[in-house]
Every structure is written in C-alpha cells, then in structure tokens.
Structure 1
Amino acid sequence: MHDLRRQALESGKTVSRKARSRQVSTASSKANSTLNSPAHSRANSRNPSRHGSDDEEYLSDGTAWSTNSIDDILNGDDVDVPVDAWKNELSLRIEQIVDRKRSSTEGRADSLSAYAHILMARYAKDDIEARMSELLPSILRSIRAETNERETVAALKALAVTTVTIDSDDIYDTVADQLKRTISDSSSIQTKISAIHTLGVAAFFGGTSEEEQEDVMTFLLEIVESDGFSVDAHDEGSVVIAALEEWGFLATDIEDIEEATEAAMEAFVEQLQSSDAGVQIAAGENIALCFEKSYTPREDDEDVSEENVDSEDEDQPTRGDKMVKRYTVWRRPDQLLHTLDDLANVSARSISKKDRKQLHSNFADIRNSVEKPTRGPKYSTALDQETGRYYGGGRMKVKINHNVEVRIDKWWKLQRLNALRRVLQGGFTHQYDENEAVSRCLPFSMASKR
C-alpha cells in the first residue's frame, strides 16, 4: 500500500489572494514574478477543480487569482493606460525572450512571465504569429536547459498559453518529445506538474490525431497507475492530480473511449483510496466522465432494449433526448457506489474540515452520475414548485458577458472549463469572447433576460 493511501490528508495553509490593483509599471516584472513563483503542493492547498465564487479561481498549482485582476492591471479604471500599451509591452517581452545572448536567467523568467500574463488577458494571435519561428525555439530552449525552476515553469506556462492563442496544427509535433522528457527527467516537482498540464494543452490544441491523443492519455495513465513512479515522482500527489486532470481533459475529445475505459477505471477506482483529497476528487471526476461517455443519443431508426435506454430525466422524458447505454463501464457498480457513498459522507477526524467539505460536495455529484450517467455535475432532484419539474442540471454557470453564459451541465464541460482556466486563469472570459479556439471548446447559451 503506497504512502498516499496510508492515512487521511491533513490540509495545510490557506492560500492568500493576489492584490486586485497594481501599478502598470510593476505588472510585467514584480507581479509576474509572484505569479510564476513555485507554488505549494496541491495536497496543502484548495483543490482547483472546485468552483467557489465567480471572483476567485484556484489554479492547478494552488495559486489564488482574482478573475478581474489581469484586466485591472492592463486596463484598470484607476490607471491611465493607452489602448496599445499592452502591445508595446508584449513586443518588448518577445524581443527579450528571443534575444538570449543579452538576457540573464532571471531576466528571461521575468520576460516569459510577463509575456504569458499579457497573452492570458488579451487575444494576441496577430501580434505573435509572425514571431513564432523565433519565439517557440527560444521558449523550448528555456524548458530544455532547465537552468532554474522559475525560468522553466515560466516557459512552460508561456508555451501553454501560446498554444491556445496560436491554435496551430504544427505545435504538438514540435514540443511533445521535449515535454515528455521534462516530465520524466526533471528533478523539480513543480516543473513536472507544469509540463504535464502543458502537454495536455498541446495534445488538445496543437494539432494531434486521435491516435496521438490516446498515446498521451496512455502516458498520463501510467503516471496515475504508478502513483508517479513512472516519472520519478513516487507518491507525489500533485503530480498524480495533474495527470488525472489532463487525462480527463483529453478524454473529452475522444468520441469513443470504450477501449480505454477498463484500464483507466482500474486506476481511478484504486485512487479513490488515496490519502490526498485532491487525488480522490480528480479520480472521481474521471469516473463520472467515463460513465457519462458510455451513453450516447439514440438514433431515430435505432432498435435497442429499453433497459439500456435512459432520458435526461426519466420522470419527464420530453425534457431530453433518449440516451442509450453502449457498454459497461465498471464490472462492480454496487461496490463502486458503496465507495462513493463513503466518500460523500466521510466524517473521519483525521481529515481536515475543508477536505471533508470538498469530498462531501463533489462525491455527492459523482455518485449521482455513476448511478444515473445522464445527470451531470450539480444536478438537482429538488422540485420546482411552479413547474413541478426537477431543477435538473445547468445550475453551474459561467457568465461571459450580458448575453452569453456557459452552462456546465455535463462532466465533459467541467473538464474543459477547468483545463481552460488552468491555462488562461482570470483571462478566461475575455479569451472566450475573442478566441475561437477557446469558445469552440464549450457551447454557450444566451442568458435569460428578466
């Protein structure tokens, strides 16, 4: 039994919030240095997959970041910033990144941090596309050299946000081998975590075939199965969490994951016994996703057994398409439901109050979806007194602007939302408005008007 499974995790420090207002002059150096500093272990921070209030996000490396703070820095009401100021700053940072002969390790780290910071907040494809032949090799050199952790992590974050911005079919082939080497060989746990997340982004946005995505999922699953041992990070919960998260993200892009499900479910169910609440929750979300993907809409002329047919709400079949169970996800569903019940009601004093709350909230949803896979996260069986119908799914929403909101009523949507937020942080809503690569990941609905 590995160390991760020996005892319940005690949570550690509370993550502080970033200052919401900063001077523009410090945004590209001091603020970005803080943003890219080595983060606390996921085992000692709030789990990022859990969504709290709309004005605060918790990232995969444990950093707290205000949703509005990036725009406050670049175009805040309290400072006078010319419209093109960020473009001039971006151009300067690109020059500093590509001109390695005149730069120091700390200088490159500052420039990479500022560059990524601007790309999160502003859609800058036109501004960086012409420089990619210089920019990408320089970023990769910072990753490959691994002179220090700060520069390497900053370069990995810069690569991830560049990949989402450019949305090119050529990036994955250029970066994949180096990212896998960094994950396997780096002596820095934070570097491994950042490289895992960047690999997931490259495999999703960088121009891969389904076969290549499945290869990356296999690589990530080996990390989960071995508790990190396969990449020299044995019993490092934060590394396992990153692998779980990116496996789930890539699985949303595979139409049929039946073949991969059996081996993956073995690993995910085993990780439910982890002593790290973050590992348990990430594994549980992947389990829910696997069950959700085992159902697809029934074709008009399809003749199937009624026992394999379900609707989004069996008591009100007119509210959703009939869904058909295509394969068995797990051979011992009763045993799995019992385990999920235990996690949804865990009361051990050895588990911190914060972790107990997260386990209760998330595993209530996960259990609900395993029992009835057509129900997504935050599905409510409470009855609306006016309509007599279940409130159902869609209670989790992300407001993009006055007219557009994203309803997170499926596990695949939650996986993609979490992945985009890991990369774009507080710039997510702006990128959703401007960047087609982001908006096509998540369908939107027009906000209801009162």
Structure 2
Amino acid sequence: MRERDLRKQALESGKTVSRAARSKLTTPSSSRANSATPSRVGSRLPSRNASDDDEDGLSDTTQWSTASIDEMISPPGGGEELEGEGTDAWVGVLESQMEEIVERKRSSAQGREEALRMFCALVTRHYAAEQLKGRTGELVAAMLKSVKGAGSGKEVVLALKALALVVVTEPSDEVYDALSGPVKTCISDSAFPAAKVAGLRCLSVATFYGGATLEETEGVMEFLLDVVSSDGAVVGEMDDSAIVTAAIEEWGFLATQMEDLEEGTETAMETFVEQLESASAEVQIAAGDCIALLYEKSYTDAESDEEPAEEDEDEDQTNGHNHGPRMVKRYTVYRNLPQLLSTLTALSKLSSKHLSKKDRKQLHITFSDILTTVEKPTRGPRYSTALDEEGREMGSRLKVAVGRGGGRMTIDKWWKLHRLHGLKRLLGEGFLVHYAGNQVVFDKVVEVEVEVEES
C-alpha cells in the first residue's frame, strides 16, 4: 500500500436542518403479509471481535457482507484464474461484461445475471474507475432496467449491488436523483425480500456518495427509521430481521456525516431502544451500535471560552484528558437512562441456550462496549482503563489490520466503526484494494490514522 497523508480532516457536511414530523408510510398493496422470514433468537451474529486480544480480528479476508450475496458474486474459484492470466487480464473481462450489461436486446435473464455477477466481482476486487469513466450513465440506466424489470430475484439483487459499486467507484453528484426513486420503489414493492435488503444498502450508498443534499439525506434516514419502527411492515416484510438489521445499519452509516443530530435523537433513540428487545441478535447489536453513536454525537469539542459542566469535568479527569480535545455535553440523549443502562447491562451478560458459546461471547463484548459509551460518551469501542507507561488510560484498543506491511487502523470512535462497517459490507474482500486506490473511500469513509508497526 502506497504511503499517504495519514491524517485527514473530518467530512465537512454542515449542520442538519430540523427533522420534519415523521409520517408513516402505508404498506404497499403489493406487499405480501406472509413472505417475511420471522426473526430468530438463534440468528448467527456478524463476524466481529473474533479474538480475545484487544485487536479486532479483521483483515482483508474478513467477510462482512451478507454471506449469500458474497457467494452470489464470487466467480468460480474466487476469480484466481483471472489474476493468473496477467495483471491486466481482468480489464478485458470487465469490458466484455459491461458490454453484456448495456446490450440488453439479445441478452437472456441468465446472461444478465452472469454479467452482473462478474461485474460485481471484478469491480470489488479491482479499483476500476478508469474503466468505468465515461460509461457510468449507460451502466446505471441498464442496471436500473434490471431493478425495475420482472426478472429473477437474483438479477435484481446483483443489479442493486452493481449500482452501489458503480457509485462508490465513480461517484457523481447527480446519481442520487437517478437512483433514489427506483430503488425506493424496489424496496417497497419487490416480490423478493433479498432485493429489499440489497435496495436498502444501495440507497444508503447512493445517498452518501451520490450528491444527496442534507435534507434528502435526512429524508432517507427517516425512511429507514420507519422501516425499523414498523419491524419491516412498512415495506411489506413484517418481522424480517434481515430487513430491520439493514435499515438500522444504514441509518448509522448515514448518521456519521451529520454534524448535529440533536433534533432527531429522541425519535431515533425510542426506535433503537425498542429494538433491543428483538428476538434477533443481529438487530440488537445493530441497534446498540447506533445508540452508542448517538451518545458519542451528543458530545462535541469545547470552545476555547467554554466552562465545562461538573459532569464534563469528571469525564476529563476520568479520561486523564489525554486522548484528544476536551469534550462538552450538548444535550440529553435519552430521558430514561437508568432503564437503558439496566437493559444494556442485561444484554452484556445474557446467557441463552439458543446462542453458541462464541456468539454469546461476541454479544457480551459488543454490549459491554456500548454500555461503556452510554455511561461515558467520550469513550469509544473497546475502551480500556488500564494505564500505559506514562500513567494515561490506554483508551480504545480496537485495531484493524490494513495489509501486510504492519499497518493498523485504530478505531477509537463509533462513527469510524460505522463507516468501516458500511464500506466492508459493500466491498468485502476488496476493501483493501479500494482503501489503497480509491481516494473517495480513503478520504470520506475511513478518515482514520494508520499506524505502521516497526519490525
């Protein structure tokens, strides 16, 4: 990985405007009441916190995307046969797949599926901005035809994945306007639940990278909260844990670019606290992560002339005032903090025969982190109060390997973790490729310092 300027400024997105009154969407007439997959207590947890060490077991091979979609886009043999033919062999293959996608008149549904699958695999594994340049308009138009068409569920899912990859590889300020309407229609009306999940993911990426205004971003976040608060019923998939999890996770991803979340915090907290009672561990964890983010967002850097409140003084003393600028609480996040702390404590110690030992451990670690942040909002994920050699608290010790050169990201803020999660969900094993070559990914999604360990 080539050397870069490793300290980046945070995304300058400005403050959000006040949230409009939330209006519930009505369930579409084409929704199928019995199509949902009921959420299950024993649902498998995401691959997170994989070791007992203070470093997260994440690498370029970690699978963060939905497993079924990962398998769907992987070429036979994982694509190694393309790499073995030469460093540029993939370019010709990608060109032929793009031609197949754009030229629809003579294509079959099976042919379109294969072309989209290969496109997704290649654009995930390689940074293809040069190859996509000048072709995004026709690619987006062709992929939207697959989304709108009456083809197979697989074709729709792959088209939505491909659209998201196009947006992150070759961003455009106009693409949100082109995608938001058709993708929202797909989320509401598709006959395929998997397509609705893929639609939620695609909508989030298009909003983040596609030129959406702050008001439009806020509108998408409201829509996602509607999906969550209705347990998926608003898009015709009642109690579908995959739908609800996707909506929560993408809300958190979009929330990271909002400078001021005060106006929307009360509604969001009520929604996420309710989801802590879900029978799905994935839903619980996603909701907990967003709760931690909301508490973190309630504190901002103190102005030079501001006098800290008593609780902020206590927080500074606890943290040793050594892990960044002094932070000040701006507003109350949740009115019933004792109840929330009780719920989080219970989840951090949950014992259930429906969970494997490994899954139970991951649940405990995750909610211990969330509980720590709710109690002390300036503390990030995997915060350690152990003292270093200079007598300072060690702080957040969640580190992510970024390649084979010893580089590691320190994820000391929840907003950083949410952004990293969002990118890994989209790019999977290709994350490091885009991190190294895609300036948009490097600048606007990760924005964290990378330390290189000396050998």
TM-score by length of 2: 0.84
**C-alpha contact (below 8 Å) 2:65/2:428 kept by paired residues:** no
Structure 1 segments (4+ residues) deviating >6 Å:
none
Q: 2:63 aligns with which of 50, 58, 63?
A: 58
1:146-157 correspondence to structure 2 within 5 Å: 146-157=150-161
Partner of 1:261: 265
**Among 118, 125, 140, which residue is 1:121 paired with?**
125
Is the contact made by 2:348 and 2:364 (CA closer than 8 Å) also made in structure 1?
yes
Shift of 1:97: 0.3
Relative to structure 1, the CA distance from residue 118 to residue 178 in structure 2 (aligned partners, 3 Å threshold; closer, same or farther) is same
Q: 1:50 to 1:152 in 2, by over 3 A?
A: farther
Consecutive unaligned residues of structure 2, counting only runs of 5 or more, are: 1-37, 51-56
Q: Distance in 2 between matches of 1:112 and 1:333?
A: 48
1:298 aligns with 2:302: yes
How far apart are residue 147 of structure 1 and its match? 0.7
- For the Cα contact (< 8 Å) 2:379–2:396, is it kept in 1? yes
The match for 2:452 is 447
Structure 1 64/174 Cα, relative in aligned 2: closer, same or farther at 3 Å?
closer
Give the count of matched residue pairs: 408
Deviations along 1:256-294, one digit per CA (max 9) or x if unpaired, are 011111000001000000010000000000000000000
Give the structure-1-normalised TM-score.
0.85
Displacement of 1:122 in angstroms is 1.1
1: CA distance, partners of 2:150 / 2:409: 38
Tell whether 2:429 aligns with 1:429: no
Identity of aligned residues (%): 43
Distance 1:49 1:217 in 2: 25
Q: Which residue does 1:397 correspond to in 2? A: 400
| Contact preservation (8 Å) 1:344, 1:359 | yes
2:316 & 2:185 partners in 1: Cα distance? 43
Corresponding position of 2:221 = 217
Rounded to whole Å, the distance in 1 between the matches of 2:292 and 2:132 is 38
CA deviation digits over 1:69-106, x for unaligned, max 9? 99x95568x96322221110110000000010121101
| One-letter code aligned to 1:125 | A
Query: Equivalent residue for 1:388?
Result: 391
- Aligned partners of 1:352, 1:318: CA distance in 2, in Å? 39
SS of the residue 2:386 aligns to:
strand
Residue number among 373, 376, 383 corresponding to 2:377 in the alignment: 373
- What is the match of residue 190 of structure 2? 186
Assess, with a 3 A threshold, how the Cα gap between structure 1 residues 137 and 192 changes in structure 2: closer, same or farther. Answer: same
Contact 2:319 2:393 in 1 (8 A): no
Residue 40 (structure 1) aligns with = none
Structure 2: which amino acid aligns with 1:381? Answer: T
Cα distance, 1:63 vs structure 2: 4.4
Picking from 155, 159, 162, the partner of 1:158 is 162
**Match 1:276 to one of 276, 280, 285:** 280
Query: 1:199-348 to 2 correspondence within 5 Å?
Result: 199-309=203-313, 314-348=318-352
- Structure 1's 401 and 350: CA in aligned 2 closer, same or farther, altered over 3 A? closer
Aligned residue number for residue 16 of structure 2: none
**315 and 370 in structure 1: CA distance in 2 versus 1, 3 angstrom threshold:** closer
Structure having greater relative contact order (Cα 8 Å, sep ≥ 6):
2
How much has 1:134 moved relative to structure 2? 1.5
Structure 2: distance between partners of 1:251 and 1:239: 18
